[in-house]
Structure 1
Amino acid sequence: MIAALTGIAASPLARAALRFSAVALAIVLFLLSIRRTGERVGRLAERLETSEEVNDVQRQMLEAAARRPRSHDELGDRLRDGRF
């Protein structure tokens, strides 16, 4: 079997074909790697955008909680004054 492969690889045409195949395989693997990296980056960007939205909503909730009336009396005062 090894002798047959050695005989095939001995011809210049076969060596050129093997080189071409190796280069083509390397290019395909490189492109697949780039594609996977792009998908990963896209998922990370989407996760970042989602977390920014969540943080914005939480900040708004905290700001609203800071402005809330502290007691029933303060709530009544605000309702009477029309500031609520």
Structure 2
Amino acid sequence: MPKWPHEYIVRERVDEKLFIDLVTHIRTYGYTSKFYKKEIVYFEEDGLIYWTMGAPIEETTIINRCKKENSYEYRLENNSLPD
């Protein structure tokens, strides 16, 4: 997604317990915001934003992250959304 630079980890390629712990942490300590019309729980730490797509934990397969300045919320506030 060149217009939305981000990184992600895939559940099947990392430690299962750590993956579940991170998803739980994001959802417990994060905040709800939007990506266009979709509500997502985000967690911010050290200038990075982490999120999943909101599926139940047992169905979640990816954790995403991006720099704050590449987040939807930041780009919306700064009138820099991609076309």
TM bracket (short chain): under 0.3
Higher relative contact order (CA 8 A, sep 6+): 2
TM-score by length of 1: 0.21
Which structure features the higher share of strand residues? 2
Using the size of structure 2 for normalisation, the TM-score is 0.22
| More helix per residue | 1
Larger Rg: 1
